[in-house]
Chains A and B, each alone.
Chain A
C-alpha cells in the first residue's frame, strides 16, 4: 500500500491541489459578491460543459482540425528541412541564426495580413500554425545535428561508416530527446496560435465561439469553452508525451 502511494505520490499531489484550487474558487464566490459578467462558479461551468457538450465539442473539433494538421505539417517540415541541409555546415549555422531571429518575431500578427491574402478559412489557420511550429523544431533539429561529438565521429569514420550510418547510429539517437522536447513545446504554441488566429476572423472554432459568447455575456459558455481548450490541450500534450517516452526509451527523464 505504501509503495502504491509512493508511486502515485506526484499524481496525488497534483490532483489534490487542483481540487483545492476549484474548491477555493467555488467557496470564495459564495463569500464575495462578484458580478456574473466577470466570474462564475466552477460548478456552473462544469454543468454547462455537460449540458452544452454537443455545441462545445463541435466547435472544439473545428479548431482541432486547424491545430492538428498545422502542428503535424510544421513539425514534419521543420525536421525534414533540417535533415536535408545539416551537412552543409556553413549554410546550416547561418540558417540557425536567421531562424532564431525569425522565431523571436511574434508571427501570430501575420494572421491580420494573411486574412486578406488567403481568406479567413481553416486553411489560413493551418498555414499559420505550421509556420509558427516550423521554426522551433527546425532550429533544434539543425543545431543538434550539426553538433556532433568529434570522438564518436572519428570512431565511426575509422570503421569506414557512411554519412547515413553516422546519422542513424550517432546523430539521431543523440538528437532525438531534444527534438522531441521541442516538439512537445510546439503543442501549446499550436493551440495558442489557432485560437488567437480565430479571434481575427473565421467561419467557426472555439476561439470565435468564446468571442461571440463573451459579447453576449454568456459567461457559462465562455468558461466552458476555456475548459474544453484546457481539456483538449492536456490530452494532446499527454499523447505527445507518451509517444516521446515510447520513442526514446533509453532516456531517463
Chain B
C-alpha cells in the first residue's frame, strides 16, 4: 500500500511535465499556424468588431465585404459580430480587433481612464436613441418621468438616458428607478417599466410591427432633447493608427463605397448581407429592410450628405464630450484633438 502510494507520487512530476509540454506544443503550433496563414496571403488582414449582431445597422460593411470592395483594396476583412455582453471598446482595448464600430459615448469613459483611442470616421451623424412610453402610462411631458421606471441597456449604452434624466433636474439614482432592460420591448409592453430605451432603426419598430401603432407611444428623441451623443463611429487604438495609416485609408475607402451602395439600395443590401431571416423578430426580413432605411437616414443626415459619409463634425463631437463631461461621473478631462483624426477620411475620399 505504502509502496503504491510512493510510486504514484513519483509519477506526479512526470505527468505535470507532460501536461506542460502538451500545452506548450499546442501554443507554439497555433502561433506558427497563425503566422503562416498571415504570411501566405498577400492581403492585409483587418478585424472589425461590430457594435451589435450582424444586421442592417452595419449593412455598408457587410455589403462591401460581400461585393469584394475590401478585397479590391487588398484587405482580407474579418467581421466580428457583437452581442449581449460584448463591449466593442473592450475588444478594441484587448487587441482582438483592429477597428471597432463603437458609440462615442461608450468610448469616452475608457479614454478618461487613460486609453488612447481615436475616431477615424463618424458613421451615424445623429443619435438614433429614443426613450418611449405607452401613452396610457400617463407620461406626457418631460417632468412626468419623475419617479418612473426607466429601462436602460447597461454596458455603455446608458449614457444618453442618464444625461437626459439629469437634464430634467432629476437625480438618476434617487428620483427614478433604473431598470436593466432586455434587448426587446417586452418589459415596456408588459408594463414592467414605464420608459424603454429604443433605437429608431430597431427596437422602436418592434411593438409597431406587432400590434401597436405609433400613436400609442410618447417618444423622447435624445437628439432633440439635447442629450444626443454620437453613435456608430470607427475607433482604433492610436498605436495601430500610427503603424497602419495607409491600410486604414484603404479600409475606410472600401467601407465608404459599401455604404454608398447600401444607402442607394437598402432592400438589395438586406438580401446581400447573408442573414438567416426569421419571423416576428429583429431578424425578420421586413424589420431588417426598415432598419436599413432608418440607418441610411442617420448616415446621410447633416454632414453625411453635404461633406460625405463618415465625415467627423467636430462641433457635434465636442457636444458629445460636453454632455458626457457634465452629466456622466466617469467622463472627465477629454481633449477633443486627441480623440479624432480627419486625416484618414480626407485621404480616403481623395482617392490618393
Contacts and interface: CB of A to CB of B under 8 A. Distances in A.
Given A35-B93, A119-B192, A201-B182, A216 B156 contact: yes
Contacts of A201: 179-182, 187
A66 to B, nearest CB: 14
B154 A212 contact: yes
B149 A216 contact: no
A212 B155 contact: yes
Interface string A193-221: 00000100111100010011011111100
A36 interface: yes
B109 A203 contact: no
Contacts of A106: none
Contacts of B186: 116
Given A36-B114, A37-B113, A116-B186, A215 B87 contact: yes
B115 A35 contact: yes
Categorize the interface residue count of chain A.
Answer: 20 to 34
B42 interface: no
B329 interface: yes
Contacts of B89: 217
A59 to B, nearest CB: 10
B328 interface: yes
A115 interface: yes
A216 B328 contact: yes
Interface string A209-240: 00110111111000000000000000000000
A197 to B, nearest CB: 11
A209 to B, nearest CB: 9
B112 interface: yes
Contact of A120 (B113, B155, B156, B180): B180
B325 to A, nearest CB: 13
A36 B113 contact: yes
B255 interface: no
A240 B159 CA distance: 41
A198 to B, nearest CB: 8
Contacts of B106: 215
Given A35-B93, A120-B187, A120-B192, A217 B155 contact: no
B318 interface: no
A18 interface: no
A55 interface: yes
Given A214-B155, A215-B158, A37 B179 contact: no
A198 B154 CA distance: 12
A110 to B, nearest CB: 16
Interface in A56-101: none
B330 interface: yes
A211 B115 contact: no
Interface string A27-56: 000000001110000000000000000010
Nearest to B157: A215
B330 A218 contact: yes
Contact of B330 (A55, A120, A216): A216
A190 B115 CA distance: 37
B173 interface: yes
B115 to A, nearest CB: 6
Nearest to B111: A217
Interface in B75-112: 87, 89-90, 93, 106, 109-110, 112
A215 B154 contact: yes
Contacts of A55: 173
A122 B180 CA distance: 13
Contacts of B192: 119-121
B351 interface: no
A218 B332 CA distance: 12
Contacts of B329: 218
Contact of A202 (B173, B180, B330): B180
B319 interface: no
B227 to A, nearest CB: 16
4 residue pairs, one from A and one from B, having the closest CB atoms: A212-B154, A215-B155, A217-B109, A215-B156
Interface of A: 35-37, 55, 115-116, 119-121, 198, 201-204, 208, 211-212, 214-219
Given A201-B181, A201-B187, A215-B155, 7 more contacts: A37-B90, A121-B192, A203-B180, A208-B154, A212-B180, A215-B154, A215-B156
